Amino acid sequence: MATKYKDYYQIMGLERGAGADDIKRAYRRLARKYHPDVSKEPDAEERFKEVGEAYEVLKDPEKRAAYDELGTRWRPGEEFTPPPDWTPGRAQTQGATFTDHARFSDFFESLFGGFQQTGRTAGPRRGPDQSAAIELTLEQAFAGSLRTIELATPQVAADGSVTIAHRTLQVKIPPGVLPGQHIRLAGQGTPGTFGAQSGDLYLEIHLARHPFFAIEGRDVYLNLPVAPWEAALGASLKVPTLAGAVELKVPPGSQSGQKLRLKGRGFPGSPPGDQYVTLQIVNPKIDSEHTKNLYRTLAREMEFDPRAGLKV
């Protein structure tokens, strides 16, 4: 029976000669992109299942070899019909048979469904690893936290059909996690077949934008507004850090854009990062005649040309 051919390489954005590591990286990237819990795409759940099906075939050398062999018999624009010598439900290549119990599309089922195995009994198989993204505030990433997350996980029913099951997990976030890092939760991925061990869950850390802190590596950056007289005369100011306020000495004659370092006040680590404070001189509002006169007096009394270096 003819079915719609699925180009698993195109679905994964891969060349046909892609290696195992390329396939795994592509799957993790696309699974994060289309994960129903985080994706904004209108067809995210369908694309998520499609990517899972492609990965199920391409990650397995025997399935991939059978798929590649049959793909040579298909031409773009044609419906795909398994050849007469192909037994639906028992995909074979070079004497190999397949024992997976995951039915996806009709195309997949026509090639790999049914799963009879010659000479041995279908056995348990570890579930695939699963990837998801988790967004933290800078404070949560800095100090660590306990987060509750909801996940969508493919589940294989007794009849071989695949459904999406939703579950809730409590995750302990260690202090000092950085954006792009992964937290591994052993055994929290996709369930295995026939009672086999579940795969692992990898949570990729994303950090929400902070109203005044920024982070690069383990260093934290802060723009600090200062009054003109604080910069000119020097001052001892309270400055926020992710661990609480500290005193910062602003040296006399400081300029706007000047950076001061608070050693060890960045993200935890070995060694910890630093916090860099960039001074930003802010002029007070001129909202009265008295304020204007103060500026006029300052202009008369000081011989100061901020543009002297331009030689104009």
For 7-46, what is each residue's pLDDT tens digit? Answer: 888 899 998 888 888 999 999 889 888 887 778 888 888 8
**Residue 147 contacts residue 215 (beta carbons within 8 Å):** no
CA nearest 245: which of 275, 269, 225?
A: 275
Q: What confidence tier does 278 reach under pLDDT thresholds 50, 70, 90?
A: very high
Residues whose CB is less than 8 angstroms from the CB of residue 270 and which lie 6 or more positions away in sequence, other chains included: none
Q: Is the pLDDT of residue 85 over 50?
A: no
- Asked whether the predicted pLDDT for residue 100 surpasses 50, the reply is no
Question: H or E element: which one contains 235?
Answer: strand 235-239
Instruction: Name the band, by pLDDT with cuts 50, 70 and 90, for residue 112.
Output: low
User: Which pLDDT value is given to residue 280?
Assistant: 97
Nearest-Å Rg of the Cα atoms of the chain is 30
The CATH number of 130-207 is: 2.60.260.20
| Least-confidence region, from 2-6, 86-90, 288-292, 304-308 | 86-90
Distance CA 222, CA 280 (A): 10
Whether 153 shows a pLDDT value over 80: the answer reads: no
State the Cα–Cα distance between residues 114 and 268, nearest whole angstrom.
53
Tell me if 279 sits within 8 A of 302, measured CB to CB.
Answer: no
pLDDT of 188 over the 50 cut: yes
Tokens coding 51: 């990517």
Query: Which residue ranges make up each domain of the chain?
Result: 8-112, 130-207, 213-303
Fold of 8-112: Helix Hairpins (1.10.287)
In this prediction, residue 166 carries a pLDDT of 80
Q: pTM for this structure?
A: 0.60
Q: How many CB atoms lie within 10 A of CB 267?
A: 21
d(CA 83, CA 64) in angstroms, rounded, equals 17
Closest CA to 111 of 130, 93, 135: 93
Q: Which of 150-164, 279-293, 295-309 has the highest mean pLDDT?
A: 279-293
Query: 213-303: same fold as 8-112?
Result: no
For tokens 């909202």, name the residue. 287
pLDDT exceeds 90 at position 69: no
CA distances from residue 167 to 129, 153, 187, 279 in whole angstroms, order as listed: 16, 8, 14, 47
Assign 76 a pLDDT band (cuts: 50, 70, 90). Answer: low
**Distance, CA of 122 to CA of 184 (rounded, Å):** 29
Question: Tens of pLDDT along 192-243?
Answer: 776 788 888 889 999 999 999 999 999 999 999 999 999 999 999 999 999 9
Collect all residues with Cβ–Cβ distance below 8 Å to 36 and sequence separation of at least 6. Answer: 44, 45, 48, 152, 164
Q: Which residue has the higher pLDDT, 190 or 150?
A: 150
Contact 101, 74 (CB under 8 A): no
> Domain 213-303 belongs to what topology?
HSP40/DNAj peptide-binding domain (2.60.260)
Average predicted confidence (pLDDT) for the chain: 80
